[in-house]
Amino acid sequence: MSTTIENPNYAYPARSKRGPSFEKAGWIFMRASGVVLVVLIFGHLAYNLIWTPGGISAIDFGFVGGKLADPFWRWWDVTMLWLAILHGSNGMRTIVNDYVHKPRIRQIALGAIAVAAAILILLGTLITFTFDPCPPTADPSLLPSFCADL
Amino acid sequence: MSETSSSLTLPDPSPRKTSFSGTLYRGNEGMWSWVLHRITGVAIYFFLLVHVLDTALIRVSPEAYNAVMATYKNPIMGLGEVVLVGAVVLHALNGLRIILVDVWPWATRNQRPLFWIVMGVVVVLMAYFVPNHLINVFSPMEGAE
Ligand code: HEM
Ligand code: HEM
């Protein structure tokens, strides 16, 4: 037995087209966002879990209110939100394309990833920028300490 | 771009050696890097879906947010957080390794030792994180919930 390959010297271009393409943009985005996410996520974890005395046990409404009153942390969180969701969703798209071969199911899975990404980005961005650290009707003992001075 | 009309006849390939070290890819660092990167990426993705929703509760009321955060503050979730942070650290550092291997020929040639360097840095960072975190989990500060 042997294998016969017709036209073994037939040369075809490795790339079907040159110039911008969606997959290439995605490839670059995964790497660019990854580098920025290392800084944002490591900073997020270090600040919330290690550098804040008490770490996880100190996280409550007062803690988040104190953080989000500062524009620095608002922009930090929103940048992290957008990049992490887009990066994670694009990665999930790759994985679905690898494993899901039935066109109908693949379409549904990709649609669900896109819808989830849109909803979470919208929701997260809205709550970060419309958040009131001192809601007037809330129990004052649960609020950040600076609310007492208002 | 030439096309020849000849055809090439190859003998059947001899069966591949099945010894562990005899495979080029399967079972080696490259495969583990890929498998771990994929599993950690998916795990972090599903965590993030839930995490954005629980954070969104700050917009509902202080009580709602504190009630959900209280469910994170027990030893079982504490261990879950260790696993999550381990996955994030591994995915992040291995991601940096993938980027270097893609763009820097030296790193491409040395991707194998780089994998072990990544694993070493993960161990060092976790050796710093885990004790600090477990202290916060098992002996929370006075006054904190
Ligand atoms: C912390 C910084 C991060 C870095 C440096 C990083 C790096 C990378 C890189 C370079 C890739 C592309 C791999 C390839 O094209 O072969 C990738 C894939 C991926 N990332 Fe990340 N990432 C980070 C954070 C995240 C986060 C927060 C999530 C989840 C929300 C995530 C989920 C994924 C997924 C699901 C994939 C696809 C895996 C695959 O195709 O096997 N990553 N990451
Ligand atoms: C156990 C580990 C974690 C804890 C305790 C935690 C805690 C928190 C807290 C308290 C907030 C409120 C705002 C702030 O502190 O800045 C927050 C927001 C956020 N976290 Fe985490 N986090 C953890 C891990 C992660 C990881 C691994 C990621 C990335 C994949 C992440 C992504 C985010 C994002 C994007 C926001 C902003 C959400 C928004 O603006 O709607 N967190 N987190």
Residue B140 has pLDDT above 80, yes or no: no
B130 in A contact zone (CB under 8 Å) = no
- CB contacts, 8 Å: B62 with chain A: 60-62, 135, 138-139, 142-143
> What residue of A is the nearest CA neighbor of B35?
A95
The whole-number pLDDT of residue B1 equals 44
Q: Tens of pLDDT along A11-48?
A: 766 666 667 788 999 999 999 999 999 999 999 999 99
Q: What CA–CA distance (Å, rounded) separates B29 from B32?
A: 5
Residue type, B124: V
pTM: predicted TM-score of the whole model, two decimal places: 0.88
ipTM value of the model? Answer: 0.87
Question: Which domains occur in chain A, in start order?
Answer: 25-149 (1.20.1300.10)
Q: Tens of pLDDT along B88-138?
A: 999 999 999 999 999 999 998 888 899 999 999 999 999 999 999 999 998
Q: Where are the domains of chain B?
A: 29-138
- CB contacts, 8 Å: A118 with chain B: none
Rounded to 10 degrees, what is the CA torsion of B34, B37, B38, B40? Answer: 150
Q: Tens of pLDDT along A65-98?
A: 999 999 999 999 999 999 999 999 999 999 999 9
Phi, psi (5° rounding) for residue A21?
A: -150, 155
Q: Give CATH for domain B29-138.
A: 1.20.1300
How close B23 comes to chain A (CA, Å)?
23
The whole-number pLDDT of residue A146 equals 87
**Buried/exposed code over B60-98 (b: 16+ C-beta within 10 A; e: otherwise):** ebbeebbeebeebbeeeebeebbebbbbbbbbbbbbbbb
Q: What CA–CA distance (Å, rounded) separates A88 from A33?
A: 10
The enclosing H or E element of A64 equals helix A61-68
- What average pLDDT does range A126-142 have in this prediction? 89
